[in-house]
Amino acid sequence: MELVTFWFILITVLWIGYLVLEGFDFGVGLLLPVLGRTDTERRVLINTIAPVWDGNEVWLIVAGGATFAAFPEWYATLFSGFYLPLLLILVALIIRGVAFEYRGTIESARWRRTWDTAIVIGSAVPALLWGVAFANILRGVPIDAGKHFTGTLFTLLNPYGLLGGLTTLLLFAFHGALFLGLRTEGEIRTRAIALAARLAVPAIPVAAVFAVWTQLAHGRGWTWAVVVVAAAALLVAGYAAVKQREGLGFGATSLATVAAVVLLFGSLYPNVMPSSTNDAFTLTIHNASSTHYTLVVMTWVACFLTPVVILYQSWTYWVFRHRIGVAKIPPGHGLPWATQEPTHEPTKAGV
C-alpha cells in the first residue's frame, strides 16, 4: 500500500472517531433544553459527557494536524476556501467549551440559562456545518490552476450541501438521545428513549435520501454495500428505540455514522478535493501530499501513538460507564466539574 493511501485511510479513521464520539456530544447539547426540565436534570445531561467531551475533540485536532502534515495542499485549499464555515465551527466549539466550564460558577438561574443556550448553539452549529462541509468536499468546489478556491460562501449553500448538514444535525440528535438513554436512569432515561424513537422518524428518511443521492452522484460500485449497511443500522436503531433497547440503538447509530464517513471518503478517493471548474485542477492524494520522507516519519509516529490514544480513551469510557441520575447529583451548584463523593461508582457530577 502506498503511504499516501495509508494516510488517506488513517485520516478517514480519525474522522470516524471524531464524528462517532463528538456526534453524541453534539446530540446531548442539542437536546439539553428538551430533556432537561429542571436545572438538576440539565446537570445530569451535561455530566453524561463531562468526563469525555474534551477528549473527544482531540480526534478533530489530530485529524486536522494529520491533514496538514500529510496533505498540505489539501489543508491549504480547504481552510482557505472553507474559512468562514470552519471559523464558525471553531467559535461554536469554543463557546460550548466555555459554557460547560462557566455555567456552574454563579448561583443564578439567568446565568445558567444563558450558558445553556450557548451549549445548544455551540452544539447545533458544528452539527450542521460539518455535514455541509463534507458534502461540498465530495461534490466539488471551484478550484483554479493555482489550487485556490474561487467560490464564495454561497457556493457551499447548495441543495446537496444543505441536505448533508440536515442529515448530520438529525443523526447526531438521534445518536445523542440514545446515548442519554444508555447513560442515565429514571425519568430522564425514559424521556430520552421516547425522544429517540420520535427522532428516528425524520432522521432515517433524510439520511436515506442523502446516502442514495451521494451514491448515485459520486459513489463507487463497492460503496453500495456501505449504503446498505448504513440503512440497516438506522432501521435497527429506530427499532431499538421503540423497544427501549438503548444499547443496541446506540451501537447501531454509531455503525451508521461509521458507514456514512466511509461512504463519503470512499466515494472521494483518490481525490481529496475535486474541482468543479476543471477536472485537471482536482486535488488528489498524489498532487496534494507531502514528500515520501515526511510520510515515512509520520507513519512511524502514528503507529506508536494511535494505539496509545485509543487505549487511554477506551479506559476513560470504561471508568465512567455507569448510569447517573438526579439522585446522584449533589445539592448546590459549586464549581464546574466538582466531583461527587464516590459511592459505588466513579462519576463527574456537580456542574
Q: Are 112 and 39 in contact (CB under 8 A)?
A: yes
What pLDDT was estimated at residue 349?
A: 40
pLDDT in tens, 291-306: 999 999 999 999 888 8
Residue 334 lies inside a defined structural domain of this protein: no
- Look at residue 333 in the predicted model and tell me its pLDDT: 52
Contact 42, 32 (CB under 8 A): yes
In a domain, 339, yes or no: no
pTM of the model: 0.90
Rounded CA-CA distance 129/157 in Å is 10
Spans of the chain, pLDDT less than 50: 334-350
Alpha-helix residue ranges (DSSP H) falling in 103-222: 109-139, 153-156, 159-183, 187-218
Instruction: Give the three-class secondary structure for 333.
Output: coil
263-292 pLDDT, tens per residue?
999 999 999 999 998 889 999 999 999 999
Residue 193 C-alpha cell reads as 428513549
Q: Judge whether 223 lies within some domain.
A: yes
How much is the pLDDT for 338?
Answer: 41
Assess if residue 347 is contained within a domain.
no
Overall number of domains in the chain: 1
Angle between helix 39-49 and helix 159-183 axes, rounded to 10 deg = 100
Is 133 part of any domain? yes
Residue 82: inside a domain, yes or no?
yes
pLDDT of residue 348: 46
DSSP secondary structure letter of residue 157: -
Identify whether 350 is part of a domain: no
Q: Which domain holds residue 28?
A: 3-328
Q: Is residue 111 part of a domain?
A: yes
SS3 258: helix
